[in-house]
Structure 1
Amino acid sequence: MIAALLFASLPFASMGARAQEIEPRAYSNAPVGVNFFIAGAVRTEGGLSFDAVPITDARIETTSAVFAYARTLDLWGKSGKFDVIVPYTHLQGTALYQGDPIERDVTGFGRGAFRMSINLHGAPALSLEEFRDWKQDVIVGVSLQVSPPWAQYDEGRAVNIGSNRWSFKPEIGVSKAMGPWTFEAQAAVVFFTDNDEFFNGNTRSQDPLYSLQGHAIYGFSNGTWLSVDGTWFAGGRSQVNGVLNNDLQQNWRVGATIALPIDRANSIKFSASSGVSARTGNNFDAIGVAWQHRW
């Protein structure tokens, strides 16, 4: 059971999907001093949107290898976690740019991220021995995720894996355990810096992107857990050289996640999500698998 509880929640999203990730158990508790290494793969297919507006009719496929490291921390007596995630992506597909067909086939690093989180209420910093007897009630946590502009980017191309800018994502999350069920809700906003090398020397800016997500998680007696997930995100309207684009986002996604403990040190997680409705882009399907080792 402890092996299942220790499955670190890291977002296995790629490129433009990063702001719309679905991530159950982001604010679960774990013993202090535990390390996690995670290796996974994510595939997306469909109408991904990119910074190079006005792209339409996108038929883009991506396949990403994702590597992550996380460590649980004692932050002033409260449980916390630091994690880093690095994707490496192959992108291929077609789209229309201002009515003209374009094609792209490129491989490179995707947008990595660093995150620090702390559980402010309901999840004290515990040793492994103390954690064995701990029972969750209500957890309230916050986090800050930072994504640097270190991904593949070519200002002369309309479609890239990266976006040549920083992003900052503060978030608050609440988790409530009720018997074998855990119910979670998260609210976040993503702030973007300007891309001053946008497509042939232009400058692109973007308004904040707001998001809500919820999860209903059921824990089985053998340590397996299953989550049904949903997320809504809105905002993010962009400007190019001060001219507003018609790309306000108001989108919904749903998904499911299942985590299977192999032994005390290893677990496997499978996830899938799909767009339900999308005002602009991001109506894509995604599937992922991840292996985790802890020590």
Structure 2
Amino acid sequence: MKSQKFLINLLILLVAANLFAQDIEPRRWSALPVNSNILGAGYAYSFGNVEFDPLIEAKDVSIDVSTAILSFVKPLRIGKKLGRIDITVPYNFIMFEGRLSGNPASLYRNGFGDSRIRFSLNLNGPPPGNMKDLMMYYKDNPVNTTFGVSFALTLPTGQYFNEKLINIGQNQIILRPQFGILHNWRSWSYELTGSIYFFTNNHNFFGNSTKKQEPIFALQSHLIKRFSPKLWSSLSVSYGIGGESEVNNISNADLRTNLLSAASVGYSISAKQGIKLAYLNSTTLKDIGSNTHSIIFGITHLF
């Protein structure tokens, strides 16, 4: 019974940590030329620890996650406005180790994670056009502000077995509306994005159970500096609260708040290829939760 409770709480904490970590991303409202497609590949390594209620008797629990990511971005012309579609597919290698009631315990999983598709629309700002059009707009408007909205779906495409308690996929749909502001003043930019995560129920949870989860509210901001047409960097911070869950209408009392901070740098190695390196720290502001560090590398190709 203690072992099952340990694993249930660990699963919930891992899911929440991954959700917050995936959401902090600078330059998501930046304009892109509509005649382009962007293919991306990346690798993220995350490690850290999980803090539990002492009653669970789980101590020294560590997380080690490697994730390979493929992404595709397509800018769109929607009337006189600029939109885009983002598709992300992760593949995860997850290991966690610790002590349960004083005895060593570990678990390893690998497989596809849940994919995500996001549609966004800039309500104002640069009109849809090619790269030359965008350069002319920014030359004529060195100080400008863009307001945008988006809607993302995380789909239950990840590896999931109902006979296993710990899975990579969540077997539920996550709906995430967003509203964002991007303000550019010459070589500087500031972004502010608000998000709400809504979760469908997992009716095929371990032990023929039903898992429910309350919404998560998150707010993130980014300060971005462009040093040259090829080089940029950013500092980011994000705060999230919510996500309390229950299994078979029994609360897990796992409401948490998370604070994320990140630093990123991007560089264009050619007219069509760019690279990005980022560091992300996630800290729980509760007595229980996860504290992780992530190092992320990505490369993009424009065609």
CA shift in 2, pair 1:79/1:182, >3 Å = same
1:26 to 20, 25, 28: 28
> Over aligned residue pairs, what C-alpha RMSD do you find?
2.2
TM-fit CA distance, 1:132: 2.2
1:62/1:92 contact within 8 Å kept? yes
SS in 1 for 2:172: coil
SS across alignment from 1:111: coil
1:91-121 deviations in Å (ceiling 9; x for gaps):
1122567997642111100121011001012
TM superposition outliers: structure 1 runs of 4+ over 3 Å: 54-58, 95-102
Whether 1:62 aligns to 2:70 is: no
Given that 2:236 and 2:263 are in contact with CA atoms closer than 8 Å, whether structure 1 keeps it comes out as yes
**Alignment-derived partner of residue 37 in structure 2:** 35
Distance 1:288 1:207 in 2: 29
Task: Report the counterpart of residue 199 of structure 2 in structure 1.
Answer: 192
Q: Structure 1 residues 249 and 55, CA, compared in 2 at 3 Å: closer, same or farther? A: farther
* DSSP 3-state at the match of 1:129: helix
Candidates 73, 80, 84, aligned match of 1:81: 84
- Corresponding residue number in structure 2 for 1:202: 209
Bigger mean CA offset, 265-274 vs 90-99: 90-99
Instruction: Note if contact 1:55-1:95 (Cα within 8 Å) is conserved in structure 2.
Output: no
Distance 1:19 1:275, change over 3 A: closer
Deviation of 1:56 after TM superposition, in Å, equals 5.3
8 Å Cα contact 1:144-1:170 kept in structure 2: yes
Task: Tell me what 1:11 maps to.
Answer: none
CA distance in structure 2 between the partners assigned to 1:286 and 1:82 by the alignment:
26
1:85-96 matches, cutoff 5 A: 85-95=88-98
Alignment CA distance shift 1:283-1:41 (3 Å): same
Give % identity.
28
> Structure 1 counterpart of 2:134, which letter?
F
Seen in structure 2, the aligned counterparts of structure 1 residues 121 and 100 have a Cα distance that, compared at 3 Å, is farther
Matched, 1:288 2:296: yes
Partner of 1:8: none
Give the corresponding residue for 1:5.
none
Structure 1's unaligned 5+ residue stretches are 1-13
Please tell me the residue identity of whatever aligns with 2:36. V
* Structure with larger Rg: 2
Quote how far apart the aligned CAs of 1:259 are.
Answer: 0.5
Return closer, same or farther for 1:56/1:217 CA change in 2, 3 Å cut-off: farther
Choose from 123, 127, 140 the match for 2:126.
123
Please state how far the C-alpha of 1:281 moved relative to its aligned partner.
Answer: 2.0
Q: Partner of 2:221: helix, strand, or coil?
A: strand
SS at match of 2:136: coil
8 Å contact kept, 1:19–1:190: no
Q: Quick one: which of 41, 44, 50 aligns to 2:46?
A: 44
Q: Distance in 1 between matches of 2:58 and 2:225?
A: 39
Q: Which has the higher helix share?
A: 2
Contact 1:111 1:150 in 2 (8 A): yes
Change (3 A) 1:249 1:103: same
Q: 1:155 to 1:99 in 2, by over 3 A?
A: farther
Instruction: Provide TM-score, normalisation by structure 1.
Output: 0.88
Determine if the alignment matches structure 1 residue 163 to structure 2 residue 164.
Answer: no
In the alignment, which residue of structure 2 is the partner of 1:6?
Answer: none
Task: Indicate the residue corresponding to 2:11 in structure 1.
Answer: none
> Which ranges in structure 2 are unaligned for 5 or more consecutive residues?
1-13
Indicate how the Cα distance of structure 1 residues 115 and 165 shifts in structure 2: closer, same or farther if over 3 A, else same: same
Q: TM-score, normalised by structure 2?
A: 0.86
Name whichever of 105-114 and 94-103 sits farther off.
94-103
State the distance in 1 between where 2:65 and 2:214 align: 26
